[in-house]
Amino acid sequence: MSTLDPSVAIIEPGADNLEAPPLTLGQMTWRRFRRHKMALAGTVVIILLFLYAFGGALIFTEAEANFTDTGLRLTAPTGTHLFGTDTVGRDILIRTIYGGQISLLIGLTAVILETAIGVLVGAIAGYYGGIVDAILMRFTEAALNIPQLFLLIVMAKFFGGTIPDMTVLGRTFSGSVIVI
């Protein structure tokens, strides 16, 4: 039988280094995001909306969205028309797919535009500081206090006939605005 010699180290000092490598900013963000259940649910909903709107366009054509059959006016949901038909016989499911595309593109464009403007104004205010910061923040506060509907009505009045049509991803968006 052998005995252990206390002067002989079985494990060298510093060999069991249990430190984990530091997490990157992206890893910390992803870990925090995964723990936030409402953020995950919102992300799933947004992904499903995009799949519905843009994936449905792979199945149905725009011609089907505008096809009218007055014999099928206001029918209840069936196997061929899952959401039913509208007052002129158009399939509501296909129309919501193409309407969803427009709504999502408008929302995405608005978010990108407002983010760009906010970052630019914030960067200028942060860089120059002082009086420039104070002036820009007062303009920002004033813009946030103007009711959105009133602002849209005024903009429609002034820019009603001057907005050009534009084509994005093969879809033409009309620049016309109805002025009452």
pLDDT, tens only, 25-81? 999 999 999 999 999 999 999 999 999 999 998 999 889 988 999 999 999 999 999
138 and 161 share one domain: no
43 and 103 share one domain: yes
129 and 65 share one domain: yes
Is 168 inside any structural domain? yes
Those residues whose C-beta lies under 8 Å from the C-beta of residue 104, and which sit 6 or more positions away, are: 49, 50, 53, 54
Three-state DSSP at 76 gives: coil
Three-state DSSP at 168 gives: strand
Range of the domain at 168: 147-180
Is 6 inside any structural domain? no
pLDDT given at position 52: 95
108 and 56 share one domain: yes
Is 78 inside any structural domain? yes
Is 77 inside any structural domain? yes
Using CA atoms, how far apart are residues 175 and 163, in angstroms rounded to an integer?
5
**Predicted confidence band of residue 161 (pLDDT cuts 50, 70, 90):** low
55 and 120 share one domain: yes
Per the model's pLDDT, the better-predicted residue between 48 and 6 turns out to be: 48
Is 4 inside any structural domain? no
pLDDT averaged over every residue in the chain? 86
Those residues whose C-beta lies under 8 Å from the C-beta of residue 11, and which sit 6 or more positions away, are: none
Domains identified in the chain, total number: 2
**Predicted confidence band of residue 148 (pLDDT cuts 50, 70, 90):** confident
pLDDT given at position 149: 79
pLDDT given at position 138: 95
Measured in whole angstroms, how far is the alpha carbon of residue 5 from the centre of its chain? 68
For residue 18, give both structure tokens: 């249990």
pLDDT given at position 177: 55
Instruction: Give the Å distances, CA to CA, from 61 to 17, 26, 98, 111, 136.
Output: 61, 40, 9, 28, 47
Q: What pLDDT digit, counting tens, does each position of 97-145 carry?
A: 999 998 999 899 989 999 999 999 999 999 999 999 999 999 999 888 8
Using CA atoms, how far apart are residues 180 and 172, in angstroms rounded to an integer?
24
**Predicted confidence band of residue 12 (pLDDT cuts 50, 70, 90):** low
Q: What is the b/e burial string over 4-32, where b = at least 16 CB atoms within 10 angstroms of the residue's CB?
A: eeeeeeeeeeeeeeeeeeeeeeeeeeeee
71 and 155 share one domain: no
pTM over 0.75: no
Contact 115, 123 (CB under 8 A): no
